[in-house]
Amino acid sequence: MKPGKCIWIGCCAGLVALAQTAALPDLKKAFESGVRAAQQQQRAQLKAAGEAYAAALQVAEQRLQERNNAQGVDWVRAERQRFAQAGDIPENATARGPLLRAQEEWREQTAQAKVAQAQRIAALTGKYMQDLAGLQQQLAGNLAGLAEVKDETDRVLDNSVIREAFALAKTAKPAAPEKTARPAPAAPAKPETAKADAPATPARPLTGPVTVGDYKFYPQGKEPPAKELKALRLEFPNVASRSAASAYALGASVFGDKDKLETNRQSGLGFAFKEEHGIVRTLARLTVTCHGRAMAEGSKLVVHYFSRPANALTEFHEERVEQLALPALPRGQAVVVDGTGVALGKFEHRGAHRSFKGGDEFYGLIVSLFDPAGKLLIQQCSSTALAKACPASLPAEKQQEPLRTRYGGGNP
């Protein structure tokens, strides 16, 4: 083969590879356009469902005015204002008759819209992955092109929207034919005789501390100071829990109470040591934020406390389960509350000739949020090792058992 012909063949191969690589932006553009279309369709469905519920409230107000029911009219107006701000209907909303049916219709339509979007995005992503796999085969030998395709594959699969869509589409039932928002009921020709609904007043933003049971909740930024406050990094135990992050957020820090810890120091010719023994209480400072949804009164914040032996790294033990009943919180509210924590026995000797320790140390937390009916809303843990211990349903409270003696008479 002549040299000129070899150069021509090499140039052709390079142009083919370049054309194949150029197909990636087109595939990416089409995929992202499809995802945006699915999101826009969901927003349209949610808007239609919200408008139908608002229209039902308007009709209910007209009926109540015709019956001169001032209390019912006040509640409907408050509910209309609350819904306009929150864009949500809490699970514990109390209503009857037409309004109850309107609320159930809204819940059904919003759930269908979310599932439909997830299924669309999951289908689009599956097709996109097939296209990228085919492009990889075409780019065999083109290292730069293969690297670009791999980076794009990793980017898509690591996207939180994509992961949440796959998780919801996997657990959801097959999509039923889409329903359009039910039109607002027509105003009746004559007043009804049924009694009006009078649900609870919507929650107002907290401007100061509120006490619920044995716990005091502070608006974020107004909580009392705590010494040696250590923030914990909370992780999601699974993708399903991560999907709730747009509605709620949890935060946790811990600080210690060492009032019952005794210290002994001694030194002399050729020796020096420091001993600490007694009880260390570890308290948790918890933050709950209502990003996209309000929090119904009677919801529960559940904290699992775990310890580990001072001489072990992987072994851990559940010490206690604490339940904190929450006040009603509006959308956008963040509150801080301190749990009562756990008390752990400690012994540590640090000397010039030898050092040893015994007792237990604080290991980590599982923090979960449940609605008044016991439905899990969001859950996080301070260590991936605790993911398997995360409960799926509302657990019962568990008091801490008497301190386990891991050392006796001052010896490990």
Would the pTM of this model clear 0.75, i.e. be above it?
A: no
Query: What does the pLDDT read at residue 353?
Result: 66
Q: Residue 181: inside a domain, yes or no? A: no
Distance of alpha carbon 412 from alpha carbon 408, whole angstroms: 7
Tell whether 340 and 227 lie within a shared domain. yes
Tell whether 156 and 237 lie within a shared domain. no
Q: Residue 401: inside a domain, yes or no? A: no
Tell whether 222 and 343 lie within a shared domain. yes
Range of the domain at 147: 3-171
Q: Residue 200: inside a domain, yes or no? A: no
Per-residue pLDDT of the chain (412 residues; tens, 9 = 90+): 544 444 334 444 443 444 454 588 888 899 999 999 999 998 999 899 888 888 888 888 888 888 888 888 888 888 888 888 888 887 666 677 777 888 888 888 888 888 889 889 989 998 888 888 888 888 877 888 888 888 888 888 888 888 888 878 776 655 444 444 445 444 444 444 434 444 444 567 888 899 999 899 999 989 998 888 899 988 888 766 777 777 888 999 999 887 666 777 877 666 776 777 788 889 999 999 997 788 898 899 999 999 888 776 567 889 999 999 999 999 888 999 999 998 888 777 777 666 767 788 888 999 999 999 999 999 999 988 888 899 989 999 998 887 654 444 344 3
Q: Residue 335: inside a domain, yes or no? A: yes
Q: Residue 398: inside a domain, yes or no? A: no
Domain boundary among 152, 171, 190: 171
What's the farthest any 2 CA atoms get from each other in the chain? 102
Distance of alpha carbon 274 from alpha carbon 181, whole angstroms: 72
Tell whether 249 and 151 lie within a shared domain. no
Query: What does the pLDDT read at residue 335?
Result: 93
Tell whether 162 and 233 lie within a shared domain. no
Tell whether 242 and 385 lie within a shared domain. yes
Tell whether 280 and 134 lie within a shared domain. no
Query: What does the pLDDT read at residue 158?
Result: 82
Six-digit token pair at 40?
């826009």
Query: What does the pLDDT read at residue 62?
Result: 86
Query: What does the pLDDT read at residue 270?
Result: 67
Query: What does the pLDDT read at residue 313?
Result: 59
Tell whether 232 and 328 lie within a shared domain. yes
Under 8 Å between Cβ of 62 and 184? no
Q: How many structural domains are present in the chain?
A: 2
